[in-house]
Amino acid sequence: MQVQIERFVLGPFATNCYVIHDDTGCWIADAGFDPAAMIDHVRALGVTPTHCVLTHAHIDHIFGLDDVRRAFPGIRVLLHDAEAPWLDDPQLNLSAAFGQPYTTTPADEPLRDGQELDLPGGPWKVLHTPGHSPGGVTLFSENAQTAIVGDTLFRDSIGRFDFPTSDQRQLINSILEILYTLPPETRVLPGHMEETTIGREMSSNPFVRK
Ligand SMILES: [Zn+2]
Ligand SMILES: [Zn+2]
């Protein structure tokens, strides 16, 4: 079976969370609000996700972590070091500002730039793409010709850089120097809204073009 990547749009921020699975296993990218539909779907597939990889630790990407951990005991949560304290800090993960202070157990493993994750559809290379948040990562699979980019790049837009921990210059650098060096045909699966490709955004993104 070829790798399947399924999108679930969760919660008040319409966060894209992805279930990635093939014959060898299953993993999840991000765990937004109200993940019941995603959990039920994974259960119906009859697979057990082994990892939940976080593109970053903003509230809309982590609020469902407790539910996911309860549903799939032993699942390993991966997050970049730069945001390691965020799961336990409602200010940093922005849940306090949203009015629903949220903390959860720390991640099980740190993500490092350049690391390769041997997960279905992969290997998935971890690319540190900070700017929207300091520990933002992109997961890139040459085999699947796919990049899961979190809130760094969107179809016709880019990630917000007005949060206290954001950095506009870093964000633009991450897009220009890292994402726009991926093959143009790479499918871009963002943290919000519809998918796009690297080539499409390189030529027509209104904010960052190459
Ligand atoms: Zn975010
Ligand atoms: Zn988001």
Residue 193 CA, ligand 2 centroid: distance in Å: 10
Place of tokens 């633009």: 172
Ligand nearest to the CA of 17: 2
CATH 3.60.15.10 for domain 4-204, yes or no, is yes
**Domain segments of the chain: what residues?**
4-204
Residues lining ligand 2 (ion), CB within 5 A?
Answer: 60, 151, 191
With CA atoms as reference, report the closest residue to 30 among 7, 48, 53. 53
The 10 Å CB-count burial string (b at 16+, else e) for 51-78 is bbbbbbbbbbbbbbbebbbebbeebebb
Q: What pLDDT does 136 receive? A: 98
Tokens of 35: 């993940």
Q: What pLDDT does 113 receive? A: 98
103 burial via Cβ count (<10 Å: 0-12, 13-18, 19+) = middle
User: How confident is the model over 91-139, as pLDDT tens digits?
Assistant: 999 999 999 999 999 999 999 999 999 999 999 999 999 999 999 999 9
pLDDT grade, residue 1 (50/70/90)?
confident
Q: What pLDDT does 53 receive? A: 99
User: How confident is the model over 34-82, as pLDDT tens digits?
Assistant: 999 999 999 999 999 999 999 999 999 999 999 999 999 999 999 999 9
Distance CA 15, CA 81 (A): 22
